[in-house]
Amino acid sequence: MIVLGISAYYHDSSAAIINDGVIVAAVQEERFTRVKQTADLPIYSISYCLEEAGIEMSELDAVVFYENPVLKFDRSLSLGLGRYHISKDYQNKLFSKYILQKLAIPQELREVFGQLGKNDLLYTVPHHYSHAASAFYPSPFEESAILILDGVGEWSTTSIGVGKGKKLELTHSIDFPNSLGLLYSAFTYYCGFKVNSGEYKLMGLAPYGEAKYVKLIKDNIVEIFEDGSFSLNLEYFDFLDKEIIASSKFDLLFKIKARKSETKIEIKYIDIAASIQDVVEEIIIKLAKNLAKNTKQKNLVMAGGVALNCSANGKLLLEEIFENIWIQPASGDAGGSLGSALSYYYAQSKTPRKVENTNDSQKSSLLGPEYDSETIQEYLRFSNLPFHLCEDYNLLIDKIARYIDDGKIIGHFSGRMEYGPRALGSRSIIGDARDIKMQNQMNLKIKYRESFRPFAPAVLEEEAKNYFDLNSKSPYMLIVANVKTDKLINNTTKITDPKNILDQINEPRSIIPAVTHIDNSARVQTVSKDQNRRFYDILHRFNELTGCPICINTSFNVRGEPIVCTPEDAYRCFMRTEIDILILENCILIKEEQPIRNKDDNWKDEYELD
Ligand SMILES: [Fe+2]
């Protein structure tokens, strides 16, 4: 049974295709259109998935959409007709967004691809069942508790349930407008970052601050109950009426106006970031405790946008409420396409679900397009770009490891592209984690992004326990763990004067300073031999040469740009930034050897700042 899943028209559109429950391909539309988190109907992603599966749209057993547009409209409509005041303009916008656009999907798809599967139908799966299926079915667990932490789907914002074998059931939900995702997004907006993409920055900022406002937030903005359920004080939110979601009451409460983006970050915003992070962690931990008590499960799976909060995930792991936790790497709405396809398949299939107890079936999330060496060479020759072909695999790995040791910053492009927001080695910029200047250099000269943002370490899986307080695998870079005390060289002090943030970033805190955050934590990616062979070999060789099994791994893009997909995207990013070496499969490109170009700052116009 071959099933295609589609997520579209909210944010981060994507498509995924599965064959008898096995994931064949999954990809986000932004990678093709080069518009970050595009909500467009994912025409390119669908084409790629069909091609990868070698099938026409009309031959599919089913085409599935990741949410129920009618239920979603029910929410929008009830807002319009209910107790809230909504402007006429906004009502019209909601109507066209939620109904006209979504009702047109089957026809739009037919116009491009013809008949929608054997039955010419577009099936739908409720939003949180899509998230839940994306978390449970690829997990390595025969059974587990399920926790969906989201902004909003149709009505549900938080859902809990249980998966056993093929069966998945969501038993309880917290509904709109009470939403953990929208709560965090309101603070993201208030602290001057972009909603739906800047949440990561808020999380990155939090460790610099002191959680001084936890009580103020809990007394005024969100009431938390013992079972983890919560209630928002709607006076503080404008999302019922417009898209700016923190109301002016925030200004009065914190006695500071909402920060304008790209302006100086006052210490108060940093403390507010620390405080909301604490509040969200308290809710998640309480929800998890209640879930464990009620389900008696020892495993937990998670998805939904808030499940990408790696700091909260790290704290949850430390609580040891569950023995094992697996989080869908495409936890945001991009994962909905995969989840809806899996949900449909397991509801229809007669065959039992097979679980490999050690590994998940997410295939390291390397589920996107790949380009072989011949194709890359053809492109490089056609474009007259100088490169060195290295056909000996071991020599290539050795060269890459030596470049890192020499302090070079490398654009690494190899194999299938990652599905989900994190680069895991296939479309990554890598560098030396031991180099104290690397964080600042990479932020300002490579990524062109805020200097406070930390970088993540990729570490050999078997060495992770020697460097981090981490007792589990973290192959998808979704867990923050502390750097081990014996690897620290300085005790961190919190930021007291924001003017000195940069100085404090540049203070060495551990023997891997470029990936050690101000609170001595790190967002760890563990790399194993069987799940990501080439990246593992690079780290392994680097360890042999230097005694350090870790390198910096950050996504291959500049600020606001989707992760590179094609060799052309990679070359453009290489030439626009101070990346020293570009590795395209087994082709090595050295910056100094490339044709001289005028300084290309076009990316600033091409991509909207995130
Ligand atoms: Fe969602």
Distance of CA 171 from the midpoint of ligand 1 (Å)? 17
Distance of CA 182 from the midpoint of ligand 1 (Å)? 11
Distance of CA 131 from the midpoint of ligand 1 (Å)? 7
Distance of CA 184 from the midpoint of ligand 1 (Å)? 14
Assess contact for 556 and 564: CB atoms under 8 A: yes
Distance of CA 336 from the midpoint of ligand 1 (Å)? 7
pLDDT for 85 equals: 54
Distance of CA 333 from the midpoint of ligand 1 (Å)? 5
Assess contact for 336 and 5: CB atoms under 8 A: yes
Domain 2-138+333-361: state its class: alpha beta
Distance of CA 308 from the midpoint of ligand 1 (Å)? 12
Token digits of residue 578: 């101070």
Distance of CA 181 from the midpoint of ligand 1 (Å)? 9
Distance of CA 287 from the midpoint of ligand 1 (Å)? 18
Residue spans per domain, the chain: 2-138+333-361, 139-327, 373-606
Assess contact for 359 and 461: CB atoms under 8 A: no
pLDDT for 83 equals: 45
How far apart are the C-alpha atoms of 431 and 439, rounded to whole Å?
A: 10
Contacts of 112 (CB under 8 A, 6+ apart): 43
Ranges in the chain, pLDDT < 70: 72-88, 90-91, 93-99, 239-244, 490-506, 598-610
pLDDT for 480 equals: 95
Distance of CA 452 from the midpoint of ligand 1 (Å)? 28
pLDDT for 77 equals: 59
SS3 call for 262:
coil
Distance of CA 206 from the midpoint of ligand 1 (Å)? 24
What angle, 0 to 180 degrees and rounded to 10, lies between the N-to-C axes of helices 180-190 and 267-295? 170
How far apart are the C-alpha atoms of 368 and 419, rounded to whole Å?
A: 6
Dihedral through CA 496, CA 501, CA 505, CA 507, nearest 10?
Answer: -60
CATH no., domain 373-606: 3.90.870.20
Q: Which pLDDT tens digit goes with each residue over 8-50?
A: 988 899 999 999 999 999 999 999 999 999 999 999 999 999 9
Backbone angles phi, psi at 383, to 5 degrees: -90, 5
Q: If you ran DSSP here, which 8-state letter would residue 446 be given?
A: I
Distance of CA 570 from the midpoint of ligand 1 (Å)? 30
> Can 2-138+333-361 and 139-327 be said to share one CATH topology?
yes
Cis peptide before 177 (omega within 30 of 0): yes
pTM value is: 0.93
Q: Which of 365, 380, 335 minimizes the C-alpha distance to 535?
A: 365
Q: Which of 430, 459, 199, 419 minimizes the C-alpha distance to 311?
A: 199
HEC profile of 322-373: CCEEEECCCCCHHHHHHHHHHHHHHHHCCCCCCCCCCCCCCHHHECCCCCCH
How far apart are the C-alpha atoms of 174 and 148, rounded to whole Å?
A: 10
CATH no., domain 139-327: 3.30.420.40
Distance of CA 460 from the midpoint of ligand 1 (Å)? 32
How far apart are the C-alpha atoms of 290 and 383, rounded to whole Å?
A: 59
